[in-house]
Amino acid sequence: MSIRTTPSSRLGRRRTVLAGALAVLVAAASSLSGCTAAPVTSSEAPSAPSAPSARPSPSDASPRPVTSAPPVDPTPPVATPSPSATPSPSATSTPSATAPPVEPGEDVTPTPPAPEPTPTEEASPAAPESAEPGALRRGDSGEAILALQQRLDDLGYFVNRVDGDFGAGTQQAVWALQKVAGLTRDGIVGPATRAALEAGVRPTPRTTTGRVIEIDLDRQVLLAVDDGVVTRIVNASSGNGETYTALGRQLRATTPTGSFELFRQIDAMHESTLELGSMYRPKYFHHGWAVHGSASVPPWPASHGCVRVSNAAMNWIWDTWGAPLGTTVLVHRR
């Protein structure tokens, strides 16, 4: 028996073939896009593709697309140190020959090296005049001191004794010379004082006639003058200008200037009526002001107003030179 094919049956077979081909095409497209889809049958319409799984299935034919990393520079990166970090030397850098290694936390600001001292023949600084080799001072003795004393005596400076010992009397004479020469009053015979000795420095008196005691307050020296010629030059110390209290009164330690005469004298150790201390063999020239001997006669003004000289110099004024009452006393500033 022959089977007869009708047009409707042929149309049904074509639809079936077309549906199968369509299913194949859908499956191929799904495979290319990385997604999975349920097969489509001829009896149902294609359904929407399901959401992709969070983790790819091992059975996937194609790997899921992965977000690509940024391109990598083939050159290794070099770390840039922060401003506060201490850079460490690179493995390929050559260490400096002069820069020492820097520890963490150490200040890396370079300090310029101190300049090298220039070598000289004499490294020690020049010594002051008073420290010059051969300088003469109190406590020294010998032929050099004897020559010094003799030169001072020849120039008229009161030395007291020429005996080769540099004692208080010689120091007083050196102070007087330094005052007249305008030198530092240190009592040390250095180059400048030697030069003054060699030059024969002497003061010029103010008076030209008679026996006069001249007191120079600026240079702090007393001159014994005979008819305009200086016989002796004595270290002296006058009023220091400070205020003091005596017998409940405020007084100022000044020495009056002017031309006076000796009007009173005491040939003994006398205690001041103002309770200011002892006065050795004083000779008064104006009220309570006198020339007198003292155990303390520094090279600067130090008294309450009287004029101090050494006890030995006061003995010379009394016993050798002689300054009777009525002798002129000229007190002045230059």
Domain extent for 256: 211-332
Residues 152 and 245 in one domain: no
Q: Is 25 among the domain residues?
A: no
Per residue in 179-190, pLDDT (tens digit) is 999 999 999 999
For position 134, what pLDDT does the model report?
87
CATH number of the domain to which 243 belongs: 2.40.440.10
Q: Supply the mean pLDDT for the chain.
A: 76
pLDDT exceeds 90 at position 49: no
Assigned token pair, 121: 């023949």
169 lies in the same domain as 220: no
Give the contacts of 228 (CB within 8 A, at least 6 positions apart): 205, 207, 208, 209
Q: For residue 207, with 0-12 CB atoms within 10 Å meaning exposed, 13-18 middle and 19 or more buried, which class applies?
A: middle
223 part of a folded domain? yes
Lowest mean pLDDT among 60-64, 168-172, 320-324: 60-64
What is the per-residue pLDDT for 8?
A: 54
Q: Are 302 and 237 contacting, i.e. CB atoms less than 8 angstroms apart?
A: yes
130 contacts 155 by C-beta, under 8 angstroms:
no
Residues 222 and 292 in one domain: yes
The 8-class DSSP code of residue 131 comes to: G
Last residue of a domain, one of 199, 221, 238: 199
Q: What domain count does the chain have?
A: 2
Based on the fold, state whether residues 252 and 308 are members of the same structural domain: yes
Q: Do 300 and 240 share a structural domain?
A: yes
- From 177, 199, 221, the end of a domain falls on 199
291 pairs with which residues across the strands?
283, 307
Instruction: Look at 165 and 57; give whichever has higher pLDDT.
Output: 165
Same domain? 161 vs 231: no
Residue 151, pLDDT score: 98
**What is the average pLDDT across 285-295?**
97
Enter the pTM of the model: 0.62
- pLDDT value at 288 more than 50: yes
Is residue 307 one of the residues assigned to a domain? Answer: yes
Check whether residue 218 and residue 315 sit in a common domain.
yes
Q: How much is the pLDDT for 168? A: 97
For 34: left if phi > 0, alpha if psi spans -120 to 50, otherwise beta; the answer is: left
pLDDT average, residue stretch 224-233 = 98
Kindly state whether residue 172 falls inside one of the protein's structural domains.
yes
- Lowest mean per-residue pLDDT among 4-8, 121-125, 151-155: 121-125
Indicate whether 312 belongs to any domain: yes
CATH code where residue 186 lies: 1.10.101.10
Domain-embedded: residue 324: yes
Last residue of a domain, one of 174, 199, 224: 199
Instruction: Name the burial class of residue 36, with classes exposed (0-12), middle (13-18) and buried (19+) by CB atoms within 10 angstroms of its CB.
Output: middle
Could you give the angle at which helices 168-181 and 191-199 cross, rounded to 10 degrees?
A: 80
Query: Residue 141 and residue 227: Cα distance in Å, rounded?
Result: 36
For residue 287, pLDDT beyond 50: yes
